[in-house]
A and B are shown apart, each in its own frame.
Chain A
């Protein structure tokens, strides 16, 4: 029973809860038991909050019993990457620097999840300050990959990806500055969306790089992801990056099929500009066939070279993150983990003129990218170029982490989703990435859901996480 509840989708669990066939308290207790049994292997959580979770589940249960069902997240467990504020709990950013930093108020996304009746299960592992990891020299151990616990789960929303893959949560929030939602989604075979820049408020989320930061949903299925985004999206006048765009039902086009949908394949990002692992290339080739069979028109396109985006992204990210961390780097450099400190120090020598040049280049790249996909609905490309590797193989981690095709869409701010696209012969997740026009997340979900339905990679479970093993 525990595994069955652990791997329920939001859609399935919410229907059972709405029809009173499943009690939020029962679901919460089952997941807490799974966390207790499995999380020592995966370190997905920095802090589990059973008292808060059970209290919220009991309130939800009473409200639903009284006929006050509020929507799909009512009574639904969720986890927050530990750079997202939850009033009264520490937001540590997985760092000694903020180990005692208790949040005074909720982030906007936490407020929305609470208002929807969600059940907060705890704070999830991240790379230090969403940049330094995977690291073995921090106050908490790094999350491990449920598909092979010797391997890293991607990052920086590492605990979010691991918790979903292990069936510890049906919903988690991540953040994405250079790919940090889509990387763990790719490594853990779950679904992660970086929404359009400005779609989801970042207020109450510790910044890494303000002009590149995004908050987004992570789930095991595409429809779950769209439903979670429905809740998170919305204008926030107090987030200067927030976009005053109307809220829509992001799941509205799921099930409409792919007939006439135009997909651009940005193959050069993973075969010319960089060469992906052969099994990753093959997985996307197969995905192209699947999408074409479903009625989509797929044609190859060329975006600007990957390096142009990468240079731009790293300079902006370096300058903005150094500005945020400058005081601590000056006063407490030894309190960072080595990897986080190295990454943050990278920005120390960027001049104001370099930063401004990178911002100007960002506009040019965005214009060229949108021009290249003017007559397309979405772009298909790789997310990660390699499968995950051993977490303790520092050379392999350093070599493979930068090999990705995610950064371009932090630069352009477009919505981008990573999802499973099969498995290597060793049983490790492979992935693909779908990129949409600004504020057209609904089209991404339409294509992703059709592909998911045709392949059902989302039904596979990591070894050792089902009932017999718990």
Chain B
């Protein structure tokens, strides 16, 4: 990594809450970010409003919550 790439990577890691990474770990982070950016570019972006169904939030009746409360 060049010094400027390193600074950018450090900034990006800090934005994700990762301020304690060593240089070697920053390199891992940079590699992961690059590969994930490439994957994200391959996600379809043409989904219509009806596809928001993915985000349905579902409640269960009070009785079925058991000791979770």
Contacts and interface: CB of A to CB of B under 8 A. Distances in A.
Given A341-B25, A363-B53, A364-B44, 5 more contacts: A240-B60, A334-B25, A343-B32, A345-B18, A348-B29
Interface in B22-57: 22, 25, 28-29, 31-33, 35-37, 39-40, 42-45, 47, 51-55
B22 to A, nearest CB: 7
A237 B18 contact: no
Interface in A337-382: 338, 341-343, 345-351, 354, 356-364
Contacts of B47: 357, 360-361, 364
Among A334, A345, A357, A358, the most chain B Cβ lie within 10 Å of the Cβ of: A345
Nearest to B44: A361
A314 B12 CA distance: 20
Contacts of B45: 357
B16 interface: yes
B22 A334 contact: yes
B65 interface: yes
A123 to B, nearest CB: 26
Interface residues of A, number: 37
Given A314-B39, A330-B19, A342 B32 contact: yes
Interface residues of B, number: 36
Given A333-B18, A348-B13, A315 B43 contact: yes
Given A307-B42, A346-B36, A354-B43, A341 B28 contact: yes
Given A354-B43, A357-B47, A348 B16 contact: yes
Nearest to A344: B32
B64 interface: yes
B17 A315 contact: no
Given A346-B35, A364-B51, A237 B43 contact: no
Interface string A223-239: 00000000000000110
